[in-house]
Amino acid sequence: MNSDKLLDAKGLACPMPVVKTKKEVDQLESGQVLEIHATDKGSESDMVAWAKTSGHELLAQEQDGETFKFWIRKA
C-alpha cells in the first residue's frame, strides 16, 4: 500500500508508538497516509483504538514476523 510517510516505531514501548504516531500525523496534510511499523505487542490493538478515538482512518494493518504494520489516513 502506498504511504506518504513511514514512521519506524520498532523497539519502542507503550505509550511511545501512539505518541509518535500523533506527532507524525500532525505534520501531514488531510488525506495523506502514514505507515507505521511497531514491535510493541500492545500496539496491535492500540493503533486501532488510537485511530478510532482521534478520528483518523485505519486503512489496513498486517503482521510481518514480529513487526506490526499500520496504514492510517489523516482525517
Start-to-end Cα distance in the chain:
18
Cα-Cα-Cα-Cα torsion 20, 36, 74, 1, nearest 10 degrees, comes to 170
Is 32 a known active-site residue? no
Q: Select 13 or 60, whichever has its Cβ closest to another protein.
A: 13
- In this structure, the chain runs to a length of 75
Chain residues binding another protein by CB under 8 A are 11-16, 18-19, 21-22, 49-50, 53-55
Q: Select 30 or 53, whichever has its Cβ closest to another protein.
A: 53
Catalytic, out of 5, 6, 8, 14: 14
Active site residues per annotation: 14
